Homo-oligomer: A and B are copies of this chain.
Amino acid sequence: MRAQFRLARGKFTLDVELAVEPGEVVAVLGPNGSGKSTLLNLIAGLLRPDTGHLSLDGRDLLGAPPHRRGIGLLAQEPLLFPHLSVLANVEFGPRAQYRADYRETALRWLDEVDARAFADRKPRQLSGGQAQRVALARALAADPELLLLDEPLTALDVDAAPAMRGLLRRVLRTRNRPAIMVTHDALDALVLADRVIVLDAGRIVEQGPTRTVLTRPRSPFAARIAGLNLVPGTTVDGGIRSSAGVFIAGRGSAGAGEDGVAVFSPAAVAVHRDNPHGSPRNALRVRLAGMEPHGDLIRLRAEDGLAADITPAAAAELELEPGQDVWFVVKATEVGVHAARGGVWGRD
């Protein structure tokens, strides 16, 4: 998909240009009111830009009405049809596209979001989180060419959110069709997206592969949302083996042998001059490349790109300087191991 839009709405102006490759998943991050939903609405055809163009698989779509675009939108509010049962809501997409197996499709998606028990209910009989899940099932059941998701994981509880995230991951991978997802959560971007776009005040202030944006954010907003250590590799039992061959212990739901990434916050990295031999499973010997202030902390950056945030007091006590060899120590419990978008990770 390639798109370029300009739209003025009152004092706010959206002016963006973006491309999404076939099969690519793009996460859109940005502060409230930065134009994320506006962008999705423009792509879906619910808003018309002042000027712009839009094409998907070479078809020009700007003049096409929403239902001809093959673009599905899970909006920020669930907006389930109040007059239809939950099942009929989910069947809506497949039926509208005259698919014969709409009933099975709908039931399958209801199963996926763990909402089959509500199939016969009316939307007004659902809780907020239940409605959100059904809305997700409805959007997925429509199986559009391009899927747009506006904060798909809000209102979900601590069990449902990871489950739905996992579902989305599976779906987005097997579909092999593009998707754009708005989120406020770096983890969503990390697990689901190949690429991240950061919007601010209607403009794209940063974009790039998820890993790059989340580890080396250049915009202040991305920095606040992310700034993580990511170590790509292959998942193994109890952790990940990095491309350089180093084993990193961690916890997560990814099975062994997958493309994956180990994620941990620089704040979770303890720095020692000698190997401390304590409970932490991961002690990585690194050479310090640089030190810079990071808020009220000091960010140490190793030559292989890993970062550690420590307090100035600690930095002073350790008498650190660039070129020095130190141990970066991280507890396995602080390392998340996530299956990541296969293949695409190698890109940057």
Does A156 lie at the interface of the complex (its beta carbon under 8 Å from any beta carbon of B)? Answer: yes
Q: Provide the residues of chain B in CB contact with A281, threshold 8 Å.
A: 311, 313-314
Closest to A272 in B: B278
Closest to A331 in B: B270
Q: Provide the residues of chain B in CB contact with A249, threshold 8 Å.
A: 311, 313
A158, B225: Cβ atoms closer than 8 Å = yes
A157 to chain B, nearest CB (A): 5
Does A58 lie at the interface of the complex (its beta carbon under 8 Å from any beta carbon of B)? Answer: no
Complex Cα–Cα for A334 and B157 (A): 24
Q: Provide the residues of chain B in CB contact with A77, threshold 8 Å.
A: 77, 128
Q: Which of A9, A31, A121, A156 has the most CB of B within 10 A?
A: A31
Does A240 lie at the interface of the complex (its beta carbon under 8 Å from any beta carbon of B)? Answer: no
Complex Cα–Cα for A158 and B220 (A): 11
Q: On chain A, which size bracket covers the interface?
A: 35 or more
Complex Cα–Cα for A38 and B128 (A): 11
A116 to chain B, nearest CB (A): 13
Does A309 lie at the interface of the complex (its beta carbon under 8 Å from any beta carbon of B)? Answer: yes
Does A59 lie at the interface of the complex (its beta carbon under 8 Å from any beta carbon of B)? Answer: no
Name the interface residues of A248-281: CB closer than 8 Å to any CB of B. 249, 251, 266-273, 276-281
Does A230 lie at the interface of the complex (its beta carbon under 8 Å from any beta carbon of B)? Answer: no
A32, B279: Cβ atoms closer than 8 Å = no
Q: Provide the residues of chain B in CB contact with A121, threshold 8 Å.
A: 10
Q: Provide the residues of chain B in CB contact with A334, threshold 8 Å.
A: 267-268
Does A151 lie at the interface of the complex (its beta carbon under 8 Å from any beta carbon of B)? Answer: yes
B268, A273: Cβ atoms closer than 8 Å = no
Does A329 lie at the interface of the complex (its beta carbon under 8 Å from any beta carbon of B)? Answer: yes
Does A289 lie at the interface of the complex (its beta carbon under 8 Å from any beta carbon of B)? Answer: no
Complex Cα–Cα for A347 and B133 (A): 39
Does A107 lie at the interface of the complex (its beta carbon under 8 Å from any beta carbon of B)? Answer: no
Q: Provide the residues of chain B in CB contact with A266, threshold 8 Å.
A: 333
Complex Cα–Cα for A311 and B250 (A): 9
Q: Provide the residues of chain B in CB contact with A269, threshold 8 Å.
A: 331
Knowing A76-B128, A279-B308, A308-B279, say if A32 contacts B333 (CB, 8 Å). Answer: no
Does A205 lie at the interface of the complex (its beta carbon under 8 Å from any beta carbon of B)? Answer: no
A181 to chain B, nearest CB (A): 14
A159, B31: Cβ atoms closer than 8 Å = yes
Q: Provide the residues of chain B in CB contact with A125, threshold 8 Å.
A: 9-10
Instruction: Fill in one digit per residue for A280-319: 1 if any B CB lies within 8 Å of its CB, else 0.
Output: 1100000000000000110000000000111101110110
Q: Which 6 pairs of residues, A with B, have the shortest CB-CB distance?
A: A32-B129, A272-B278, A267-B333, A276-B276, A271-B279, A279-B314
11 further A-B contacts with Cβ under 8 Å, apart from A159-B224, A238-B313, A281-B313, are A31-B157, A32-B130, A33-B127, A37-B128, A77-B128, A154-B154, A156-B184, A269-B331, A272-B277, A272-B279, A276-B277
